[in-house]
């Protein structure tokens, strides 16, 4: 939701913090701010709007003696507003009334109204509408009692309810940043004589790839001498050290005009990397990281997938795949609804939480609820060391590399790929597949990266389509079977990037209501299943005929060589031939490109669409 950076070292803190904020801006971009500790005081600057507004303000005030430029300890924040509109005052950092403490925060402090009233009664004048400002005042008060910033932070955290990552600096400690986390992300970067704190490793990837994962309810202190971690009561704690397996270049645009296009282009590699090393010579899937008891997995009688947004659509694809491969009933739940409807879970239910970031609060809460009910939880996640895998019983990592654009693309294809692996693994384990069958499907999956590349090699038709449809304000998407979640995903991409009213429908459902929306010239993108032994393809053509009869302009995505679709397509986009269950891997790509292109033509910022943030760390 918000991006957080902290630094202690020898370099000018402002440079390090701003560089970190540039890499974290995808987490929130309503406003941004920094604070440094210099000469016994805190110096801060903050601005509403994107990071460039802050950078302009900093450039205007820059002078040789400005402590903002010379200090070597600092914190920075890029905001996605929850409490109070995105203006200069509500931007972080928030300073205590006496200016001794500066605080930045990600998350929501649920008891902030009580704390605010308490402070107001005590005569403190609150300047902003945020929940964060109370922490700055409380922290200054606690520091007055303990004269120890970490102890003050622990005392304040014990009073806070909700989810939060906090970083604080205090004017008497020119070489110290203290952080705290509860249900919200915070990682430590360890360099040589310099230490970093960040919402994720992108914050410091340009400086170090050595990181420490913090646990729940921990307080961390970084100084030039090292890192100290405790729980909220002061008991010493250990973080888990790890090495980040990607570098700064992976988190850059690499010559593309935006991250989204780069990440769309990364997809063959993302799928290949997610498959890499996961099958041995005997056709056994080597999902070592699962470390789940095989007897327990054999005894599963239900799979429940929980996820949000694009990850939820990956879950919808997975339902078809898992039920087909394993014959285990599979439900897919919006994580935000899951725990509120009292779901039926037992120790024989496998809950699969899908999340690119591993930090989505709705999904995290669903994971916790499933654990409380005694179910085993498996995370499918792209972010090493993030909260959801850490709180799950097992994890199957996707290896898509960092996804920076707010709209998920390679994250989705990697999630879908991981679901195929999971389905094959469970199917083999439970005796539904022989090794040679697994090998055959793995071979088909192994061809997917080349098929995706084929879609990417010629984007001219999709670009022309985007130009043609750029003035439309309603666009529909139709699919059947695994093409239905693809239609939903295509519509979501268009909504979030182009702010167009786009809806995805199951083709067979259209005649039960939504067909009333169809009018002369309405563009409908139709994901046509490959021809096979089932009737999917022909049923889809019937659906397309129904909408054409009512004036729809049909844009059909169909496999190459499918001549039967030609009479029903105003525009035909061909897809490489793949088996029906694998079609989402190729059919999603033109829809991503279409949304990206159309939004770009409309002049929108595709990496940072309005009102959104990359990882949604509030419920
Ligand atoms: O990080 P997650 O996969 O848990 O995120 C879930 C959704 O918030 C995310 O997929 C969102 O819908 C994207 N903006 C879609 O492009």
Spatial distance between the Cα atoms of 132 and 28, rounded to a whole number of angstroms: 16
Give the model confidence (pLDDT) of 116-160 as tens digits.
Answer: 999 999 999 999 999 999 999 999 999 999 999 999 999 999 999
Does ligand 1 lie within 6 Å of residue 356's CB atom?
A: yes
- Residue spans per domain, the chain: 3-244, 259-446, 456-601
CA of 312 to the centre of ligand 1 (A): 8
Q: Tens digit of pLDDT for each residue in 183-239?
A: 888 999 999 999 999 999 999 999 999 999 999 999 999 999 999 999 999 999 999
Q: Say if residues 163 and 618 touch (Cβ distance below 8 Å).
A: yes
Closest CA to 4 of 19, 22, 24: 24
Reduced to 3 states (helix: H, G, I; strand: E, B; else coil), residue 199 is coil
Atom of ligand 1 nearest to the CA of 388: 4
Dist. CA 309 → ligand 1 center (Å): 5
* Residue to mutate, 1, 311, 317, 400, ligand 1, most ligand atoms under 8 Å from C-beta: 311
Lowest-pLDDT choice from 122-136, 270-284, 416-430, 587-601: 270-284
**DSSP strand pairing (474-479 vs 571-575):** unpaired
Distance 518 CA to ligand 1 centre (A): 29
pLDDT higher than threshold 70 for residue 600: yes
* CB of 82 shorter than 6 A to ligand 1: no
* Catalytic residue ranges: 2, 614
| Per-residue pLDDT reduced to its tens digit, 382-416 | 998 889 999 999 999 999 999 999 999 999 999 99
Cα dihedral 291/296/301/307 (nearest 10): -30
**Distance in angstroms (rounded) separating the CA atoms of residues 574 and 576:** 7
Atom of ligand 1 nearest to the CA of 615: 1
Q: State if pTM tops 0.75.
A: yes
At 376, list the tokens. 């085993």
- Looking at 3.40.630.20, 3.30.470.20, 3.40.640.10, 3.60.20.10, the CATH number of the domain 3-244 comes to 3.60.20.10
pLDDT reported for residue 1: 73
Domain 3-244 matches domain 456-601 at the CATH topology level: no
Would you give the DSSP letter of residue 301?
-
- Tell me the angle at which helices 435-457 and 267-275 cross, rounded to the nearest 10 degrees: 170
Q: For 97-114, how does the pLDDT look when each residue is reduced to its tens digit (9 = 90+)? A: 999 999 999 998 989 999
User: Rounded to an integer, what is the distance from CA 279 to the centroid of its chain?
Assistant: 27
Nearest to 593, CA basis, from 431, 442, 437, 410: 410
Q: Please give the mean pLDDT across all residues of the chain.
A: 94
User: Which atom of ligand 1 is least distant from the CA of 616?
Assistant: 8
CA distance 100 to 41: 7
Helix (H), strand (E), coil (C) string for 238-281: CCEEEECCCCHHHHCCCCCCCHHHHHHHCHHHHHHHHHCCCECC
Q: Among 310, 410, 497, say which to mutate for ligand 1: greatest number of ligand atoms within 8 Å of CB.
A: 310
Report which protein residue has its CA nearest ligand 1's atom 14.
407
From the list 287, 326, 278, 277, the residue with the least C-alpha distance to 305 is: 326
User: Is the sign of the CA dihedral 123, 128, 129, 130 positive or negative?
Assistant: negative
**CATH architecture for segment(s) 259-446:** 3-Layer(aba) Sandwich (3.40)
Q: Which tens digit of pLDDT belongs to each residue from 476-502?
A: 999 999 999 999 999 999 999 999 999
Pick the CATH number of 456-601 from 1.10.150.120, 1.10.760.10, 3.40.50.10490, 3.40.50.880: 3.40.50.10490
Give the distance (Å) from ligand 1 centre to CA of residue 583: 21
Q: Is the CB of 526 under 6 A from ligand 1?
A: no
- Ligand 1 centre to CA of 581 (Å) is 23
């Amino acid at each position: 939701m918000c991006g957080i950076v902290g630094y202690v070292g020898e370099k000018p803190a402002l440079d390090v913090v701003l560089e970190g904020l540039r890499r974290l801006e995808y987490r929130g971009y309503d406003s941004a701010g920094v604070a440094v500790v210099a000469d016994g005081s805190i110096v801060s600057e903050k601005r509403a709007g994107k990071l460039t507004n802050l950078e302009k303000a900093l450039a205007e005030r820059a002078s040789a003696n400005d402590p903002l430029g010379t200090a070597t300890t600092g914190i920075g924040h890029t905001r996605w507003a929850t409490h109070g509109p995105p203006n200069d005052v509500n931007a972080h950092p928030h300073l205590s009334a006496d200016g001794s403490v500066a605080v930045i925060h990600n998350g929501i402090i649920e008891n902030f109204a009580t704390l605010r009233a308490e402070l107001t009664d005590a005569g403190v004048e609150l300047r902003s509408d945020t929940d964060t400002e109370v922490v700055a005042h409380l922290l200054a008060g606690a520091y007055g009692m303990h004269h120890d910033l970490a102890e003050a932070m622990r005392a304040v955290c014990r009073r806070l309810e909700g989810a939060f990552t906090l970083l604080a600096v205090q004017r008497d400690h020119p070489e110290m940043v203290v952080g705290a986390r509860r249900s919200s992300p915070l990682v430590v970067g360890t360099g040589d004589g310099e230490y970093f704190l960040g919402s994720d490793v992108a914050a410091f990837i340009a400086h170090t790839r050595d990181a420490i994962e913090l646990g729940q309810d921990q307080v961390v202190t970084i100084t030039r001498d090292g890192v100290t971690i405790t729980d909220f009561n002061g008991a010493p704690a250990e973080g888990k050290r790890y090495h980040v397996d990607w570098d700064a270049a992976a988190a850059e645009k690499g010559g593309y005009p935006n991250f989204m296009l780069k990440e769309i282009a990364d997809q063959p590699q993302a799928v290949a990397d997610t498959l890499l090393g996961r099958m041995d010579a005997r056709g056994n899937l080597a999902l070592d990281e699962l470390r789940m008891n095989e007897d327990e997995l054999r005894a599963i009688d239900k799979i429940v997938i929980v996820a949000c947004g694009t990850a939820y659509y990956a879950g919808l694809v997975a339902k078809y795949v898992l039920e087909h491969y394993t014959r285990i009933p599979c439900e897919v739940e919006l994580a935000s609804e899951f725990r509120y409807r009292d779901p039926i879970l037992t120790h024989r239910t496998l809950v699969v939480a899908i999340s690119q970031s591993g930090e989505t609060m709705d999904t995290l809460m669903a994971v916790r609820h499933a654990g409380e009910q005694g179910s085993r939880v498996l995370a499918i996640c792209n972010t090493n060391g993030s909260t959801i895998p850490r709180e799950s019983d097992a994890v199957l990592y996707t290896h898509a590399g960092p996804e920076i654009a707010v709209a998920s693309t390679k994250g989705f294809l990697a999630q879908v790929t991981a679901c195929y692996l999971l389905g094959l693994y469970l199917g083999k384990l439970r005796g539904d597949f022989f090794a040679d069958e697994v090998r055959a499907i793995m071979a088909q999956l192994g061809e997917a990266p080349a098929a995706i590349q084929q879609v990417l090699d010629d984007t001219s038709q999709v670009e022309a389509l985007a130009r043609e449809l750029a003035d439309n304000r309603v666009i529909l998407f139709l699919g059947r079977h695994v093409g239905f979640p693809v239609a939903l995903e295509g519509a979501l991409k268009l909504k979030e990037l182009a702010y167009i009213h786009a809806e995805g429908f199951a083709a067979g459902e259209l005649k039960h209501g939504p067909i009333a929306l169809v009018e002369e010239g309405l563009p409908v993108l139709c994901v046509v299943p490959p021809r096979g032994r089932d009737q999917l393809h022909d049923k889809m053509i019937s659906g397309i005929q129904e909408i054409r009869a009512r004036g729809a302009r049909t844009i059909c995505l169909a496999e190459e060589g499918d001549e039967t679709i030609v009479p029903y397509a105003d525009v035909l986009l061909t897809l490489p031939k793949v088996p029906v269950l694998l079609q989402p891997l190729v059919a999603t790509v033109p829809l991503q490109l279409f949304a990206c292109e159309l939004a770009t033509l409309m002049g929108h910022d595709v990496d940072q669409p309005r009102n959104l943030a990359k990882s949604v760390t509030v419920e």
